[in-house]
Structure 1
Amino acid sequence: MPNILVSIAADLPSSIALRYACRLADLIHSRVQVLHIKEPDEAGPAVGSGWARLTWQKELLEQARQEITQLLRDDLAHCATKDAPIVAVGDRESHVLAELGRAPYDLLVEGLPAPPSQSLLHRVLHSESLQKIHCPVLLALTMAPLERVLICLDHGEPSQVECFERLMQGTNLGVDLVAIRFPEAAETTGDELLRQRLDQARESLRGAGFDAGQSTVVDGRPDSMASLANDYGLLVVPKVHDSQREHPWVALLGNTSTSMLLC
């Protein structure tokens, strides 16, 4: 049975992420592990302060538990959780990486405001946790019905197709494909190559039992192509490993309100 790790805070995006993860868990017969990390607003008493620092840490931990209790009560009522929620105080990214290394997870889910600003999205896409982990990451933005999925290819290797098939095996979701040619790749990536990749991806999806529908090659500026995702419940895109602030995927994804699976 697959395992999903959901990293949450006491806010609306986290509530959406938790609900999305629970709905996805029902779809792929998975279980959900909730992780809530309280990041202190300030350093607190010095390490050598003994009981004062210990008391401060206990107060923060109790505050974290109180913050998350109502959210979990409302959103986990019909969710197949794996274990009791993990609640801790410290650096969120460090705890996420530690938990992902402690147990075998098939997916990390986090929430983002919809639409995310490009600066926020850039920080998330290039965060330490996202760059280091090997499992897919789902950024939940809305609770749009997960009925049809759009898988986006570019001039790189289409590894996200295999990633999607492995994670969503047995769901028979409807899937459309789009090969996006950003302006900087227009001279080096021809229609024939992109069409070939689309055909291969479609055949692979059909072989895996998915309803593979339309496949299209699209040219244009990233910000003008965000509307492609409006009619879908999930957008599947490659992980961004390039640290450029103006990377075209950041520009595209920063203009959409569709939840995205990064493979």
Structure 2
Amino acid sequence: MLKTLVSLNADLASSIALRYACRMGTMVKMTLQTIHVEDPAAAGHPPGTGWVRRTWEKSLLKAGEDEIAQLIQAERPSCPPLALTKILIGDPEEEILRELERESYDLFIEGELYSFSSASFYKKMRSRLYKDAFCPVILVKNLMEMGRIAVLLADDMNPSGVVKTFLKIFNGGVFDVDLLYYRVQQSGGQTLHNQEHAESVLSSARNLLVEGGRVPREGRVIQDSPEKLSDLFKDYGLVVSSINDLADKKSHMMELLHRIPSPILFCPR
């Protein structure tokens, strides 16, 4: 049973993430625990100390509890019965990281609406939450059907770790799986060595999938600009990849991950 933590705020992104998690739960054996963290910094400068501060924090928690209860009530027709949402106060990243470690979750899910602006995406990829998460993370950009999944590999990525994480999470369920290897177009074109390396990685990844009971529908190298390739992923219900050390710098791979409209499963580095 996959122990899953879903982060919620009173917004559309969280509504989509919750609905996606519930759909995923119909295909994979998993339990869902929702969490909401009220950020005092976002509510302005906290007043004083002692009982004044405690009263202010209680009012924040109550407001957050009411908002999340309304969101869950609106999504109830799409979801199974859920445990009570954990309502906390503090820095959202720090509180979620503590919760992930304390309860040993297998998966974390949150929402971020798809945007043509990369600033928010890069900020999230560089955050402590994504760098130090104790489990894989699914970032839900759009609500998609999960019948088709892409495992996206690239240079300087651990293909074995990505494939094994995918197999651990999706042990069961009926999905079509494609293996894709992204290469940046080099000036002068692709060399035979680069092509052979890509084919070798795809072959190794395919063998791992087959050993795990998953036969990929196809395996191929994709090579073009991130802008042109993003449309390739519009029919995938999930893209499985890894940011590794890419988050610390701008790269073609990071740009492609930003432009992909589908939910993305980021495997731990």
Q: TM-score, normalised by structure 2?
A: 0.90
Q: Distance in 2 between matches of 1:59 and 1:191?
A: 60
2-side partners of 1:67 and 1:245: how far apart? Answer: 36
User: Are positions 1:135 and 2:135 aligned together?
Assistant: yes
Q: Within the alignment, does 1:179 sit opposite 2:181 as a pair? A: yes
1:80 deviation in Å? Answer: 4.4
Match of 1:169 in 2: 171
Distance 2:158 2:54 in 1: 50
In the alignment, the residues of structure 2 paired with residue 6 and residue 53 of structure 1 have an alpha-carbon distance, to the nearest angstrom, of: 28
2:257 is equivalent to residue 253 of structure 1: yes
RMSD of the alignment, in Å?
Answer: 2.0
1:1-263 aligned at under 5 Å gives the runs 1-40=1-40, 41=42, 42-46=44-48, 49-77=49-77, 79-80=79-80, 83-115=83-115, 117-155=117-155, 156-158=157-159, 159-183=161-185, 190-263=194-267
Q: Which amino acid aligns with 1:2?
A: L
Superposed CA deviations along residues 7-40 of structure 1, whole A, max 9, x for unmatched, are: 1110001001011111112211100000001113
Higher deviation after alignment, 79-88 or 111-120: 79-88
Structure 2: which amino acid aligns with 1:126? R
Deviation at 1:71? 0.7
1:185-209 Cα distance to aligned partner (Å, 9 max, x none) = 9669611111111122223223322
Structure 1 contact 240–249 (Cα < 8 Å) conserved: no
CA distance in 2, matches of 1:64, 1:106: 26
Partner SS for 2:26: helix
- Structure 1 spans left out of the alignment, 5+ residues: none
SS in 2 for 1:177: strand
Which stretches in structure 2 are left out of the alignment for 5+ residues?
none
What TM-score do the two structures reach when normalised by structure 1?
0.92
Deviation of residue 184 (structure 1)?
A: 6.3
For the Cα contact (< 8 Å) 2:206–2:215, is it kept in 1?
Answer: no
- Contact 1:116–1:257 under 8 Å retained in 2: no
